[in-house]
Amino acid sequence: MHWQSVLEPQGPQAAHLHWLIVVFFGVCAAVWLLVMLVLLLGLLRRRPAPVPPLPANPASERRAGVIVGSAVGATVLVISALTVLSAVTTHAISADPSDPLLVQIRGHMWWWEITYEGDRPDHAFITANELHVPVGRTIQLELSADDVIHSFWVPNLAGKMDLIPGRDNQLSFSADHAGLYRGQCSQFCGLEHAHMALFVVAEDPAAFERWRASQIAEAAQAATPEQARGRDVFASRQCAACHTIRGTPANGNIGPDLTHVGGRAWVGAGLLPTTRGSLAAWIADPQGVKPGTNMPMVPLGADELKDVSAYLAALK
């Protein structure tokens, strides 16, 4: 996984922003150094004691006027130039892409709902917390929020954009290289703001199409009696009221879609790596591992917990 950093851009939009950061840093550093230098000269300069009344000296007053005037002029020039650069960069990264991949992201407390449109209604699917994108193609995100303001930020790929309830924002980006990029909600959104991570998986177009086909498919059938019992527990208990597993009676739409939860790398929006054990820990005591999450502690027996975690881990 790449360092989550704006200083390591991995796509054209991030490269634009990186260039802007470098220019701003360079200009501001030069201005700061210059100001410090002048200040130091002023402090060190030895003046003769003033003889009252101070004699008027037209030459030195003219010189002072020229210095102050050119300093003010330079300030206006620098600020204007940086403003123009910002505007040009903003324009460059928000240009309408041709043939973009449309993806909708909806922020929830505290996870990301990701919807891929399909060319047919049955080719659309919903996943969570893991955004797969093909390398080189521009991704156009439509960002919305369910409850409070969140903010989408994957520093290696794009700038920040807020997800605001009642308003749709747009952001486009593309990745130059295959890899795993971490993102994080960057607008404080409540108790578990820190545990609201997002992962962007950039892969070559063929691998992306394979992944998309696997996500369009319904959930894997239960392969063992244990998994079959887990499927029945899931459908008959509180789990199904909030979660969907396509291909089973579970069709709740309050929590993340779990049709392929075993194939995602993380549980709980970047909280725990997906294993059968971490799934069981999450189900057994959600408030213990992510205090405040809206996932309730469902009273399950030990056998039920074993069966459900085996079933979910097998949903690749």
Partner 1 sequence: MIRPALLALLALAACKREIRDLRTDPPVQAALEGIRLMPNGIGGAPPPVISAQGDPYETNAWQLNQGKQLYTWFNCKGCHADGGGLSGPALTDGWWRYGSDPVTIFSVLHDGRPNGMPAFRDKLTPDQIWQLAGYVRTLGSYSGKTAAPSRNDEIQSRPAESRAPAATPLSMPPSR
Angle between helix axes 302-313 and 276-284 (nearest 10 degrees) is 130
Angle between helix axes 302-313 and 225-236 (nearest 10 degrees) is 100
- Residue 237 makes contact with partner 1 by CB under 8 A: yes
What are the residues whose beta carbons fall under 8 Å from the beta carbon of 105, sequence distance 6 or more?
A: 112, 113, 114, 115, 131, 141, 142, 143, 144, 152, 163
Q: Residue 133 and residue 116: Cα distance in Å, rounded? A: 11
- Residue 306 makes contact with partner 1 by CB under 8 A: no
- Residue 303 makes contact with partner 1 by CB under 8 A: no
Q: Which is nearer to partner 1, 132 or 243 (CB)?
A: 243
Least separation, in Å, of the C-beta of 10 and partner 1?
37
Least separation, in Å, of the C-beta of 134 and partner 1?
35
- Residue 254 makes contact with partner 1 by CB under 8 A: yes
Least separation, in Å, of the C-beta of 80 and partner 1?
42
- Contact window for partner 1 (CB under 8 A) among 61-69, 200-208, 224-232, 287-295: 287-295
- Residue 212 makes contact with partner 1 by CB under 8 A: no
- Contact window for partner 1 (CB under 8 A) among 30-38, 76-84, 235-243, 267-275: 235-243
From 45, 56, 299, 302, residue interacting with partner 1 (rule: CB under 8 A):
299
From 65, 72, 288, 316, residue interacting with partner 1 (rule: CB under 8 A):
288
From 78, 82, 126, 241, residue interacting with partner 1 (rule: CB under 8 A):
241
Q: Which is nearer to partner 1, 101 or 245 (CB)?
A: 245
Least separation, in Å, of the C-beta of 144 and partner 1?
14
- Residue 291 makes contact with partner 1 by CB under 8 A: yes
What are the residues whose beta carbons fall under 8 Å from the beta carbon of 93, sequence distance 6 or more?
A: 13, 16, 17, 158, 159, 172
- Contact window for partner 1 (CB under 8 A) among 123-131, 198-206, 230-238, 258-266: 230-238
- Strands 179-184 and 130-134: what pairing? unpaired
- CA separation (Å) from 215 to 14, 181, 193, 242, 310? 28, 20, 28, 20, 20
Number of residues this chain uses to bind partner 1 (CB under 8 A):
18
204: how many CB neighbours lie within 10 A of its CB? 12
- Residue 83 makes contact with partner 1 by CB under 8 A: no
For the chain, what is the largest distance between any 2 Cα atoms, rounded to a whole number of angstroms?
A: 104
Q: Interaction with partner 1 in 86-115: which residues (CB under 8 A)?
A: none
From 5, 86, 236, 251, residue interacting with partner 1 (rule: CB under 8 A):
236
- Residue 287 makes contact with partner 1 by CB under 8 A: yes
Residue ranges in the chain assigned as alpha helix (H): 12-44, 58-93, 205-216, 225-236, 239-242, 276-284, 286-289, 302-313
Q: Residue 273 and residue 256: Cα distance in Å, rounded? A: 16
Q: Residue 121 and residue 123: Cα distance in Å, rounded? A: 5
Residue 75's identity, in one-letter code, is T
From 26, 118, 165, 190, residue interacting with partner 1 (rule: CB under 8 A):
165
Q: Residue 306 and residue 145: Cα distance in Å, rounded? A: 34
Residues forming the site for partner 1 (CB under 8 A): 165, 236-238, 240-242, 254, 285, 287-288, 291-292, 294, 296-299
